[in-house]
Structure 1
Amino acid sequence: MSGLSLVFDTPQLAQDYELRSADRQFRHGKRLIAELGVRAGDHVLDVGSGTGLLAEHVAGLVGLTGKVLGIDPLPLRVEIAQQKAKANLSFQVGNAYALDGLPSGSFDVVYLNAVFHWLPEKTEPLRQIHRLLKPGGRIGLTTGAKDHPNRLQAIKREVLSREPYASYPESRDGTPHWVTAVELAGLLGGAGFTVQKIEAQENVHHQPDGRAAIAFSQASSFGNFLGHLPESLRSQAIEDIQRELEAFRTPEGIRLEGKRLFAIAHKPASH
């Protein structure tokens, strides 16, 4: 969020994310919400709510006695999300580094679905989330596992290490900041949470071809996937990455696999 290149997002990328995330981020997110035990009357904060698909689902669970607030740093995605707003569901432009305007102890649940890897500095957001939660409140997150990278990301790194792309080093701020399960446990514990579960789950999906795989990553990374390259080189980079991806084609399409961390923790109840 803070430090990322937000200028690459476009109305088309935002709309693509609305469509493409339904089969992946939204599906994983619904499982996260089920594990968090979200129920009627809960007040919930969705950090990095994107176009609002998961927040809309959560609003249906908390009912009219609950509240869901979704925040996201990308105005174009918040515009799409706001079309889903209702009495118990609202959205606003914001990010994980600017939560100080929200009152302490005001949420039962805070979650970050496919968002944590976009936070370069993770300690302060977790501390703020701890402050926002009521005693006994829960935090949940899903994120890529650093020691089990997505195959597309590995291919991308290899291609971009070659010339002419190597002359344009990728900004560290514009790339995912994944963690290992051990690192995640340390971060949550250091922020005052009691960890209930951290699992590294198989994360396998198929894309019909290399172009579709790259389009998904472009939409998910709000244009940061190849955003650091001059526009004149992006088409060639896409072709080179697609060519490498073809080696992994199966009858189901191009198989992309890695692992996803799935974590649940809670703020200890006051004594």
Structure 2
Amino acid sequence: MSEDHTHVQEFFGARAAAWDRKFPDDAPAFEAAVAEFGLRPGDRVLDAGCGTGRALTPLRAAVGPAGTVLGVDLTPAMLATAVRAGRARDGALLQADVARLPLRDGCLDAVFAAGLIAHLPEPAANLRELARVVRPGGRMALFHPIGRAALAARQGRELTPQDMRAEHNLGPLLAGSGWDLTSYADEEARFLALAVRRA
């Protein structure tokens, strides 16, 4: 296991049990983001870096019983918390690295990724891996339940022009990784960037 992986597992493993209690008011933001994402009944969607599975229930509601919902996370304690919260009934949970997904090329219609991008060790390569498993014309949502400025303030840091999630950085990063940025919202109460898988 790489040093990056060990660090991520230690960070989130230590916080898994209390994660949902720490952010008790995020559910409406997840629901609104999934609604704006525009999934269709029967779609196959991956929740990449699913954590405690807070997106699984709205994702399941969006794709319906005929759809497929798969939650992937690197940290066993996060997945265990998702199971204890009853979210495994809304999607299959898999411990795996989003940098090397055990999925076929083009097998998905969409990827939803909440809070993931800041934790990618190699963002361009990792976004290319997400593109690999999504069919051409499929979609990706990069989401956070608060905006960049609010998140920076929560973490006690300054926003800089180098921030990967700034629109002027994210657009080219996605474009170089097989995605076209189609909409971008960075507000106090949410961050949501939507992209389409290039043919």
Is structure 2 residue 124 aligned with structure 1 residue 123? yes
User: Any unmatched runs of 5+ in structure 1?
Assistant: 158-176, 204-259
Instruction: Find the counterpart in structure 1 of residue 88 from structure 2.
Output: 85
Instruction: Find the counterpart in structure 2 of residue 193 from structure 1.
Output: 179
Aligned-residue offset at 1:137: 0.4
- Would the aligned equivalents of 2:34 and 2:62 in 1 still touch at CA under 8 Å? no
Matching residue within 170, 184, 188 for 1:184: 170
User: Any unmatched runs of 5+ in structure 2?
Assistant: none
**Between Structure 1 and Structure 2, whose CA radius of gyration is higher?**
1
Structural mapping, 1:141-156, within 5 Å: 141-143=142-144, 150-154=152-156
- The structure-2 alpha-carbon separation of the partners of 1:112 and 1:261, relative to structure 1 and needing over 3 Å to count, comes to same
- 1:144-173 superposed Cα distances (whole Å, 9 cap, x missing partner): 766776223236x8xxxxxxxxxxxxxxxx
- 1:225-253 superposed Cα distances (whole Å, 9 cap, x missing partner): xxxxxxxxxxxxxxxxxxxxxxxxxxxxx
Is structure 2 residue 197 aligned with structure 1 residue 264? no
- Would the aligned equivalents of 2:16 and 2:77 in 1 still touch at CA under 8 Å? yes
Q: Distance in 2 between matches of 1:10 and 1:189?
A: 33
Q: Calculate the aligned-residue CA RMSD, in Å.
A: 2.6
User: How high is the sequence identity, in percent, across the aligned residues?
Assistant: 28
Instruction: Find the counterpart in structure 1 of residue 133 from structure 2.
Output: 132
- Would the aligned equivalents of 1:22 and 1:53 in 2 still touch at CA under 8 Å? no
- Would the aligned equivalents of 1:141 and 1:262 in 2 still touch at CA under 8 Å? yes
Q: Distance in 1 between matches of 2:148 and 2:121?
A: 14
**Paired residue secondary structure (2:78):** helix
**Paired residue secondary structure (1:3):** helix
| Higher RCO (CA < 8 A, seq sep 6+) | 1
- 1:72-102 superposed Cα distances (whole Å, 9 cap, x missing partner): 111011112234223x620011122122x20
The number of residue pairs the alignment matches comes to: 189
- The structure-2 alpha-carbon separation of the partners of 1:136 and 1:202, relative to structure 1 and needing over 3 Å to count, comes to same
Q: Distance in 2 between matches of 1:3 and 1:194?
A: 27
Is structure 2 residue 6 aligned with structure 1 residue 7? no
Q: Distance in 2 between matches of 1:29 and 1:74?
A: 21
Aligned-residue offset at 1:106: 0.8
- The structure-2 alpha-carbon separation of the partners of 1:135 and 1:9, relative to structure 1 and needing over 3 Å to count, comes to closer
Q: TM-score under structure 1 normalisation?
A: 0.62
- Would the aligned equivalents of 2:149 and 2:188 in 1 still touch at CA under 8 Å? no
Aligned residue type for 2:87 = K
Matching residue within 96, 99, 102 for 1:97: 99
- 1:92-121 superposed Cα distances (whole Å, 9 cap, x missing partner): 11122122x201111111011122111132
Q: TM-score under structure 2 normalisation?
A: 0.82
Is structure 2 residue 19 aligned with structure 1 residue 17? yes
Aligned-residue offset at 1:9: 4.4
**Paired residue secondary structure (1:41):** coil
- The structure-2 alpha-carbon separation of the partners of 1:140 and 1:9, relative to structure 1 and needing over 3 Å to count, comes to closer
Q: Distance in 1 between matches of 2:24 and 2:151?
A: 22
Q: Distance in 2 between matches of 1:9 and 1:147?
A: 22
- 1:46-94 superposed Cα distances (whole Å, 9 cap, x missing partner): 00111112112211221221010001111011112234223x6200111
Aligned-residue offset at 1:10: 4.8
- Would the aligned equivalents of 1:36 and 1:140 in 2 still touch at CA under 8 Å? yes
Aligned residue type for 1:104 = D
Aligned residue type for 1:85 = A
**Paired residue secondary structure (2:65):** coil
Q: Distance in 2 between matches of 1:2 and 1:110?
A: 26
**Paired residue secondary structure (1:23):** coil
